[in-house]
Amino acid sequence: MEIRLNGESRFIDQVTKMSVAGLLEMEQVASPEMVAVQLNGEIVDRGTYHNTMIVDRNEVDFLYFMAGG
């Protein structure tokens, strides 16, 4: 499967679909509770990360929240 992750093409071998939660785990996101996920331009509800599937040619963005002033 090929997806676009944060603007870059990514190939994920031997997979036809993967959950948002699975992608966060695969990418070893240190604090997934601090990341919002946008899938094909739409924000994914955090409660559906395990049920929302990513398939070939999807566009995924991890949006990191940062505090500051």
Would residue 69 count as lying in a domain? no
pLDDT at residue 66, as a whole number: 72
Q: pTM of the prediction?
A: 0.88
Total domain count, the chain: 1
| Domain span including residue 33 | 2-64
> For residue 69, what pLDDT band results from cuts at 50, 70 and 90?
low
Which among 21, 15, 10, 12 has a CA at the least distance from the CA of 44?
A: 21
> For residue 41, what pLDDT band results from cuts at 50, 70 and 90?
very high
pLDDT at residue 59, as a whole number: 98
The residue-averaged pLDDT of 4-24 equals 94
Cα separations (Å) of 16 from 11, 30, 57, 64? Answer: 11, 25, 10, 26
pLDDT tens-digit readout, 55-64: 999 999 999 8
For 19-52, b where at least 16 C-beta lie within 10 A, e where not — what string? ebbbbbeeeeeeebeebebebeeeebeeeebeeb
Would residue 18 count as lying in a domain? yes
